[in-house]
Amino acid sequence: MSYVLITTEQRGVYVGEIVDNRAPKSVVLQNARCCVRWELEDDGFLYLAVHGPEGVAQVSPEVAHLQVFGVCTIAECTKEAEEAWRAA
């Protein structure tokens, strides 16, 4: 199961492993986190899918399952990003 970064209509940014994909209506993630705040300047949110949150973002604690509504994008994270998210 791949680790993904999801953005929503309400500008939410979430990461985790997809358990149930009914995008664009909703996606259920396991081992999910929310990007609470980030400062990426010109790099954009996909920086988080490539490099992870270290040094640029504040991250929520992990929850076992999270249903996210109003999905706009789903991006597969690199291994580097996944490791950084899990360590955050």
- Reported confidence tier of residue 42, pLDDT bands at 50, 70, 90: confident
Query: Over 90: is that where the pLDDT of 50 sits?
Result: yes
Q: 10 Å Cβ neighbour count for 22?
A: 11
Share of the chain above pLDDT 70, in %: 99
Q: What's this model's pTM, rounded to 2 decimal places?
A: 0.93
List the end-to-end C-alpha distance of the chain, in Å, as a whole number.
20
pLDDT for residue 26: 97
- Reported confidence tier of residue 43, pLDDT bands at 50, 70, 90: confident
pLDDT for residue 31: 97
Taken in order of first residue, the domains within the chain and their CATH numbers are 3-87 (2.30.30.100)
Among the listed residues 73, 55, 61, 53, the one whose alpha carbon sits nearest the alpha carbon of residue 5: 73
